[in-house]
Amino acid sequence: MQESSIIQRRNFVKLGTFAATAALLPRTVTAAATNANATASIPVGAPYALPGLPYAHDALEPHIDKLTMEIHHGKHHAAYITNLNAALAGAPDLAKQPLEKLLAGLPAVTDEALRGTLRNHGGGHWNHDFFWKSLAPAAQSGEPSAALAAALDASFGSLDACKKSFGEAASKRFGSGWAWLIVTPDGKLKVTSSPNQDNPLMQGVVPAADLGSPLLALDVWEHAYYLHYQNRRPEYIAAWWNVVNWHAVSERFAAAKV
């Protein structure tokens, strides 16, 4: 066989291997590539902008890897903000409302398509902003405050029991969604979960029993862990506890109890 034919054959095999590998990549990677310019598409002066992370992209390693953080924050979160801003461009009165108030009052938005967009992309922005602030490098994660620790003991029996309940909620959430630790309106701690980008602020959207003030959230969408953990969601959940920002959780608990 001539040398040129051999080279062509090798290149064909390499191309076929690359195509087969690309076909097997997680949907999260494809979505991230599609949204590659999401951050740049957020115009100056829009109601919402992508907040910076309070730590470096690699600060949560080895529990959450740098590449996942770069894609999750810079692409996925940014895309929610872009779509939220686009929806609010035609609703200036809603754009003036604080996002928490907007999400708590979704049933009052009469335009069904707009309401759905606000629910998905407004929820996506709020949830992710809350999530980033719920994390800290392992060496800085701290411990629950004395008041929060006492409340955890009263509600679950111990912190470990709370982690078990939380882990079960996160593991059993079918498909994409979130696990939450909340303070209910009657002042009790509760573990719950929500689908997609719903959260415990959304009155009239999530079940009444799951409403409350969020203290802690875990993103269990595949894009949050698939690059590093693949389909091993329980392993991701177990590792995530190492980077929970207990200082932030304790401050939220103190504010919710005021």
Q: Are strands 177-183 and 189-195 parallel, antiparallel or unpaired?
A: antiparallel
92 inside domain: no
Q: Which helix (H) or strand (E) holds 3?
A: helix 3-24
What confidence tier does 45 reach under pLDDT thresholds 50, 70, 90? Answer: low
Interior angle at CA 80, CA 78 and CA 86, nearest 5: 105
The Cα 96–Cα 8 span in angstroms is 60
Whether the pLDDT of residue 40 is over 50: the answer is: no
What would the two tokens of residue 153 be? 């003991």
Q: What Cα–Cα distance (Å) separates residue 157 from each residue in 40, 147, 164, 206, 254?
A: 47, 14, 11, 27, 20
- The burial of 191, by beta-carbon neighbours within 10 Å (0-12 exposed, 13-18 middle, 19 or more buried), is given as buried
Number of domains in the chain: 1
22 inside domain: no
Owning domain of residue 190: 138-257
| Per-residue confidence (pLDDT) for residue 43, from 0 to 100 | 64
27 inside domain: no
Structural contact between residues 47 and 88, judged by C-beta atoms closer than 8 angstroms? yes
DSSP output for 152-179? HHHHHSSHHHHHHHHHHHHHHS-SSEEE
| Per-residue confidence (pLDDT) for residue 32, from 0 to 100 | 34
248 inside domain: yes
| Per-residue confidence (pLDDT) for residue 9, from 0 to 100 | 46
**For residue 176, what is the domain's CATH number?**
3.55.40.20
84 inside domain: no
* More confident of the two residues 131 and 43: 131
Q: What is the mean pLDDT of residues 47-71?
A: 97
What is the value of pTM for the model shown? 0.83
80 inside domain: no
231 inside domain: yes
88 inside domain: no
* More confident of the two residues 45 and 68: 68
The Cα 56–Cα 243 span in angstroms is 13
What confidence tier does 196 reach under pLDDT thresholds 50, 70, 90? Answer: very high
